Amino acid sequence: MGMVKFYKGPDMPLELHKVRVVQKLHLVPVERRLDAMKEAGFNTFRLGTKDVYLDMLTDSGTNAMSDNQLSAMMRADDAYAGSQSFERLQKAVEDVLGKKYLLPVHQGRAAENVICRTFVKPGNVIPMNYHFTTVLAHVTENGGKIEELLHDHAFQLKSDHPFKGNMDIEKLEKCIQENGVENIPFIRMEASTNLIGGQPFSLANLMDVRRIADKYGIMLVLDASLIGENAYLIKQREDNWKENTMGEILKMMTGLADLVYFSARKLSSSRGGGICTNQKALYAKMEAMIPLYEGFLTYGGISVREIEAMAVGLYETLDETMICQSPTYIKYLVEELEKRGIPMVTPPGVLGAHVNAMEFCKHIPQEEYPAGALAAAFYICSGIRGMERGTMSSVRDEEGKEILADVELLRLAVPRRVFTLSQINYVIDRMTWLWDNRHLIGGLKFTYEPPVLRFFMGGLEPTSDWPSKLMDKFRKDFGDSL
Ligand SMILES: *Cc1c(COP(=O)(O)O)cnc(C)c1O
């Protein structure tokens, strides 16, 4: 779904929605883009959208809302306690995710805060398929550490393995035996493993993880922020589930976990987040923390309007036509860039297309943040804002030494139903130009480095005057065009 056959020419993505509200974009001249990049300390997080043409930083809170979501927001029931909006959300969570008890939180990382404060004790180990930046920070904050148990092939960036997000079951058993069951409060599985390129796990793998969790009596926690897309790819790629509906696959997935948490900024094209379970005892352990950190139990720091949008958004994840546009665009983008020789993470995953920066910028040492440099260079030549996912997004060790990331990626997020195909073609064109001029890209170094989650607000500078040279070449090739 999403891709249609054309009478003449190759198959193409086809939008299954129409645009009814538009927002003006700003494609500023390359000279301004260079200045903006300097002002932002060569960190795309610090750019203002007045200087950004396509915002491909993230899919978080940037998905387009549907007409039904917007109209639901109008009937929001403003009440501190006992709001009907919250009752509708509870019903949606039960209908779509199959969980009765819901704790609302203001966004995904708040769920991680509540879960980690409740269950992680100093010295604990949390096995997971792979970390996400915020969950790593929360586990560490509570004195625990993580063990990442992906199969080795997950790090082969060019691959045709359909489920690179699978957990290696042998590694999991070994991890439990080595660390002791008593030191493992839960196993965490992340749907559409974000940091390795939005790569899904299979249902067969999740069932295997459940089997091990049962064998040792360990709780299984599912990060369901990107579960809609993972379910969509299970339907596309896993033989046993081709005939099932999205709803059946979603319920099967959540049914295998004791605790499910999510960022509604991704899952339901709204704001907010939640933690849900069918086990009253688990709910009770975390309940007191919601009024303390988030807000009363029937709003959790989320506005009632957003709660209504979240409920409708959850139901919409059952509709393949709502989910399929972004993965289809990503597939098109990845395949077209690959045809031009650009090193991409394959198979195409969800949430965005991922460029292998280590390969793209072979000449830049990893200590000089090749993915960050590529993100800065791509913004300068296109006005498109992507996100570094590599060493810049990692942390230093206790001695302050850089821990080099497993992969260096530039992520170009494709939020749901936001971009048009001509915009995607512009991405392809400018990336092709940059590939042909990649020798002009140089490294970066930190000038301001925050101790926690440094990639958000950190400032950097180029290791030479490469950005100006890149701009000059752009002017030479494109004349006075934007
Ligand atoms: C975005 C994300 C989070 C954090 O959610 P926020 O709402 O941004 O705090 C957690 N896990 C995964 C997999 C995510 O993609």
Which one of 164, 235, 389, 438 is the catalytic residue? 389
pLDDT beyond 90 at 9: no
- Contact 370 CB / ligand 1 (< 6 Å): no
How does residue 374 score in pLDDT terms, banded at 50, 70 and 90? very high
Question: Given the structure tokens 């109008």, which residue do they identify?
Answer: 74
Residue nearest to atom 4 of ligand 1 (CA): 108
What is the predicted pLDDT for the residue at 249? Answer: 98
Residue 400 has pLDDT above 90, yes or no: no
Look up the pTM and report it: 0.94
Average pLDDT over the chain, rounded to whole? Answer: 96
- Nearest atom in ligand 1 to 107's CA: 7
Q: Is 80 in the active site?
A: yes
pLDDT at 452 over 90: no
Gap from CA of 275 to ligand 1 centroid (Å): 13
Residue 42 known to be catalytic: no
Note if the bond before 415 is cis, omega within 30 degrees.
no
CB of 107 closer than 6 A to ligand 1?
yes
pLDDT tens for each residue of 96-133? 999 999 999 999 999 999 999 999 999 999 999 999 99
Query: Sorting pLDDT into bands at 50, 70 and 90, what band is 434?
Result: very high
- Is 296 among the residues known to form the active site? no
Q: Which candidate in 119, 132, 378, 426 is catalytic?
A: 132
pLDDT computed for residue 394 by the predictor: 84
What local confidence, expressed as pLDDT, does residue 397 receive?
86
**Per residue in 276-297, is it b (16+ CB within 10 Å) or e — as a string?**
bbbeeebbeebeebbeeebbbb
Predicted pLDDT of residue 467: 98
Whether 418 has a pLDDT exceeding 80, the answer reads: yes
Pocket test for ligand 1, best of 131, 225, 261, 275 (most atoms within 8 A of CB): 225
Name the pLDDT band for 350 (thresholds 50, 70, 90).
very high
32 is known as an active-site residue: no
- What pLDDT score was predicted for residue 325? 92
Catalytic position from the list 88, 265, 266, 331: 266
Residue 1: pLDDT band with limits 50, 70, 90: low
Look at residue 4 in the predicted model and tell me its pLDDT.
87
- Given a cut of 90, is residue 482 above it in pLDDT? no
Asked whether residue 2 carries a pLDDT value surpassing 80, the answer given is: no
Among 67-71, 278-282, 403-407, 476-480, the range scoring the smallest mean pLDDT is: 403-407
